[in-house]
Amino acid sequence: MGSWSINLETEEYALDRDLILKDSMEAIYKTTPGYFVNLAVAQNHGNPDDYLVPALQNHFGNQIHIRFIDQCGCGGYVYRVTRRQTDRLYFS
């Protein structure tokens, strides 16, 4: 899949931080190398810099590049995660 966005701000995500982590990782795996996925993340769990970004960096290492885009008027956060072109990811 080329560049795209995933909405992780619905009620199910607001209630379940682990689901945000799981679906963020799955979205990254689905993204074609060289492209990005925008993660629109619910605000209910606090700043994603404290839980989401470290989890993604720990899991994927230098295979991805994460950039904060904006905090929405609704309070949610948007991050752009780009897959490096040369890396192959395997779902584990």
**Nearest residue to 4 (alpha-carbon basis) of 90, 81, 89:** 81
* The pLDDT of residue 6 is above 60: yes
| Per-residue pLDDT tens digits for 14-70 | 999 999 999 999 999 999 999 999 999 999 999 999 999 999 999 999 999 999 999
Residue 37 near residue 28 (C-beta atoms within 8 A): yes
Is the model's pTM score more than 0.85? Answer: yes
What would the CATH number be for the domain defined by 4-83? 3.30.110.40
Domain ranges of the chain: 4-83
Q: What is the pLDDT of residue 63?
A: 94
- Predicted pLDDT at 80: 98
Q: Copy the structure tokens of residue 61.
A: 């290492």
